[in-house]
Structure 1
Amino acid sequence: MTQPVKAFTTDFDLTTGLSKKTPSVKRQLSSMKNMYANKQAYDGKLQNENNPLIYEFYELDIPQTSGDILFGTSVLYPGKVGDEYHMTKGHFHTILETGEVYYCLSGEGFMLMENPEGDWQIEKFSPGQVVYVPPRYAHRSINTGNKPLITFYAFRADAGHDYGTIETKGYRKLVVEKDGQPEVIDNPKWN
Structure 2
Amino acid sequence: MNENNYFSSIAELKAELISQWNNRLRKSAAPKTTIRYKDTDYFKRQDPDMNPDTIIYEHIMRKTISDQGELTWGQVKIYPGQIKDQYFCTKGHFHINEETEEYLLCMKGEGLIMYCSKQGECWCDELHEGSFYRIPPMMACRVINISDEPLMLSLCLPGKEGFKLDCGKLRLFPCHVYDDDGEIAMLVDLEEKPNRPSDFSPEECLRLLNANTEKASC
TM-score range relative to shorter protein: 0.7 to 0.9
Larger radius of gyration: 2
1:23: Cα distance to partner? 3.1
1:147-186 alignment, distance < 5 Å: 147-165=149-167, 169-186=171-188
Per the alignment, residue 22 of structure 1 pairs with 30
1:61 corresponds to which of 63, 75, 91: 63
Partner-residue secondary structure (3-state), 1:30 = helix
Q: Does 1:32 align with 2:36?
A: no
Distance 2:181 2:125 in 1: 21
Identity across matched positions, percent: 22
Letter of the structure 2 residue corresponding to residue 64 of structure 1: S
Per the alignment, residue 86 of structure 2 pairs with 84
> TM-score, normalized by length of structure 1?
0.81
1:147: Cα distance to partner? 0.4
1:19: Cα distance to partner? 8.7
Q: CA RMSD in A?
A: 2.6
Whose helix proportion is higher, 1 or 2? 2
Distance 1:97 1:156 in 2: 11
Structure 1 residues 134 and 20, CA gap change in structure 2 (3 angstroms): closer
Contact 2:104 2:156 (8 Å CA) reproduced: yes
Letter of the structure 2 residue corresponding to residue 37 of structure 1: K
Per the alignment, residue 129 of structure 1 pairs with 131
Contact 1:12 1:18 (8 Å CA) reproduced: no
- Unaligned stretches of 5+ residues in structure 2: 1-18, 194-218
Letter of the structure 1 residue corresponding to residue 148 of structure 2: N
Contact 1:18 1:58 (8 Å CA) reproduced: no
Per the alignment, residue 109 of structure 1 pairs with 111
Structure 1 residues 63 and 30, CA gap change in structure 2 (3 angstroms): same
1:113: Cα distance to partner? 0.7
Partner-residue secondary structure (3-state), 1:110 = strand
Structure 1 residues 27 and 166, CA gap change in structure 2 (3 angstroms): farther
> TM-score, normalized by length of structure 2?
0.72
Structure ranking higher on relative contact order (CA contacts 8 Å, 6+ apart): 1
Aligned residues: 174
Distance 1:13 1:53 in 2: 24
Letter of the structure 2 residue corresponding to residue 169 of structure 1: R
**Deviation >6 Å, runs of 4+:** 17-20
1:18: Cα distance to partner? 8.0
Partner-residue secondary structure (3-state), 2:59 = strand
Per the alignment, residue 75 of structure 1 pairs with 77
Structure 1 residues 19 and 168, CA gap change in structure 2 (3 angstroms): farther
